[in-house]
Amino acid sequence: MTLLNIAQIVIAVMVILVILAQAQGGSVGGIFGGSGDSSFRTRRGIERTLFRFTIVLSVVFVVLSIVSVKFA
C-alpha cells in the first residue's frame, strides 16, 4: 500500500513537471489566455512527445488511484 502511495506522488510530480515544460514553450501571456496568435498549429518534435507523455502519465496516475482505492 505504501508503495502505491509513493508511486502516486512520483507520478503526480512528473505530471506537474511535464505540464510546466509544455507551458514554457508558449509565452507567459498564452498561459493566462492572453495570447495574440489564436491560430491552429500542429505539435511537432519534443512538443508532441511531451503531450503524449502527459497523457500516458495521467492515465497511469488514474489507474494507480483506482488500484489504491480497491486495496484500501
Domain edges within the chain? 2-33+44-71
37 class by beta-carbon count within 10 Å (0-12 exposed, 13-18 middle, 19+ buried)? exposed
What pLDDT score was predicted for residue 28?
A: 47
The whole-model pTM stands at: 0.73
**Count of C-beta atoms within a 10 Å radius of residue 15:** 17
DSSP assignment of 39-55 equals: ------THHHHHHHHHH
The Cα–Cα gap between 18 and 16 comes to: 6
What Rg, from alpha-carbon coordinates, does the chain have? 16
* Average pLDDT for runs of 10 along the chain of length 72: 93 95 64 54 81 95 96 86
Distance of CA 57 to the CA centre of its chain: 6
